[in-house]
């Protein structure tokens, strides 16, 4: 039976991520060492030792999650525990890790793309005063109505009963204060550096499009789903456009996950720190079995 791989996005990072992988796997060690060489700075130290403030920076966090996800896959391969993979998807930044796993680009090319994406988004964060909030309960139309009322954007459609808004920090605060009136149980502020997947990221999206223009992308070797539409994507040019659009548009994670389920996937490996995607999966499809693989002890024996 094939297994689907799903990859973490920003917010999943934690100081110490990947350390036990490197302590127990030559393959993981190689991935982190190569990342340091490609980037020209010490990503490994940022992941293992922090501080958390540094690891949370967009320019650091995005490469860290990409490298960590690849390290998990390569450790599985090294140990002879890499299953037949029937499809892949990733949440936000994780979509790039999924594309690497699907054979769209090699590790170094993907890391360069991720690093530039993170750098451009960091610049957009610093040029604006953005924030995000997670709405619990309520329905999707109410989330769109609340976003429109307070001039912010719907950024994530994560699972039934959880939607994320993104935009100017003051406007997000107003939306949070109005959330219960709009039918939501709670509005939780997110610890992020800016307004991801909103119109405030448009300068980053424009520059990212120019950067991707001459990057070599191949046709995926296995099904991969894009956050932009929640549908499978295979044409390399369409993949590039989806990555650009994703920077400023809503992440349709529930649709991506359901797309994997529609392929017959019932078992999932969450490759990344924490268990955020496993938690979302329980709200999307109760029959899905998700194993969260973040550190060496999490790997199948």
Q: Region 17-23: what's the mean pLDDT?
A: 98
Q: What is the largest CA-CA distance in the chain?
A: 54
Instruction: Give the pLDDT confidence of 255-300 residue by residue, as tens digits.
Output: 999 999 999 999 999 999 999 999 999 999 999 999 999 999 999 9
Q: Region 87-102: what's the mean pLDDT?
A: 98
pLDDT of res. 11:
87
Q: Region 18-27: what's the mean pLDDT?
A: 98
56 pLDDT higher than 80: yes
Q: Which residues are identified as catalytic? A: 92, 197
pLDDT of res. 112:
98
pLDDT of res. 192:
84
Domain 129-189 has CATH 3.30.230.70: no
Instruction: Give the pLDDT confidence of 143-184 residue by residue, as tens digits.
Output: 999 999 999 999 999 999 999 999 999 999 999 999 999 999
- Roughly what angle, to the nearest 10 degrees, separates helices 94-101 and 107-127? 170
> Would you place residue 193 in the very low, low, confident or very high pLDDT band (cuts 50, 70, 90)?
confident
**Inter-residue long-range contacts of 212-215, CB under 8 Å, 24+ positions, other chains counted:** 212/113, 212/240, 212/243, 212/244, 213/240, 215/105, 215/109, 215/113, 215/240
Output the six-digit token pair for 258: 């359901």
Question: Which CATH homologous superfamily contains domain 3-126+198-298?
Answer: Malonyl-Coenzyme A Acyl Carrier Protein, domain 2 (3.40.366.10)
Domain ranges of the chain: 3-126+198-298, 129-189
pLDDT of res. 1:
67
pLDDT of res. 80:
96
> Helices (DSSP H) in the chain: which residue ranges?
19-24, 26-39, 43-49, 52-56, 58-78, 94-101, 107-127, 140-149, 169-178, 202-212, 236-246, 253-262, 276-284
């Amino acid at each position: 039976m094939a297994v689907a791989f799903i990859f973490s996005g920003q917010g999943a990072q934690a100081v110490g991520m990947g350390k036990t992988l490197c302590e127990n796997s030559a393959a993981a060690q190689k991935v982190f060492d190569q990342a340091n060489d490609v980037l020209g700075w010490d990503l490994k130290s940022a992941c293992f030792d922090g501080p958390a403030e540094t690891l949370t920076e967009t320019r650091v966090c995005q490469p860290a999650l990409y490298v960590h996800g690849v390290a998990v896959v390569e450790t599985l391969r090294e140990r002879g525990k890499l299953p037949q993979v029937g499809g892949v998807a990733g949440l936000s930044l994780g979509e790039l890790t999924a594309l690497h796993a699907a054979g769209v680009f090699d590790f170094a090319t993907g890391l360069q793309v991720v690093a530039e994406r993170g750098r451009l988004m960091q610049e957009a964060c610093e040029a604006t005063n953005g924030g995000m909030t997670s709405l619990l309960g309520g329905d999707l139309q109410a989330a769109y109505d609340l976003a429109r009322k307070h001039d912010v954007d719907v950024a994530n459609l994560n699972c039934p009963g959880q939607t994320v808004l993104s935009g100017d920090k003051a406007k997000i605060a107003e939306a949070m204060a109005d959330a219960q009136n709009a039918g939501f149980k709670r509005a939780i502020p997110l610890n992020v550096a800016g307004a991801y997947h909103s119109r405030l990221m448009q300068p980053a999206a424009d520059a990212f499009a120019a950067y991707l223009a001459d990057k070599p992308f191949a046709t995926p070797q296995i099904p991969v789903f894009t956050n932009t539409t929640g549908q499978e994507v295979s044409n390399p040019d369409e993949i590039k456009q989806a990555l650009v659009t994703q920077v400023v548009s809503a992440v349709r994670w529930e649709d991506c996950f359901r797309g994997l389920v529609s392929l017959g996937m019932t078992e999932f490996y969450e490759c990344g720190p924490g268990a955020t995607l496993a938690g979302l999966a329980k709200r999307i499809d109760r029959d899905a079995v998700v194993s969260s693989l973040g550190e060496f002890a999490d790997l199948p024996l």
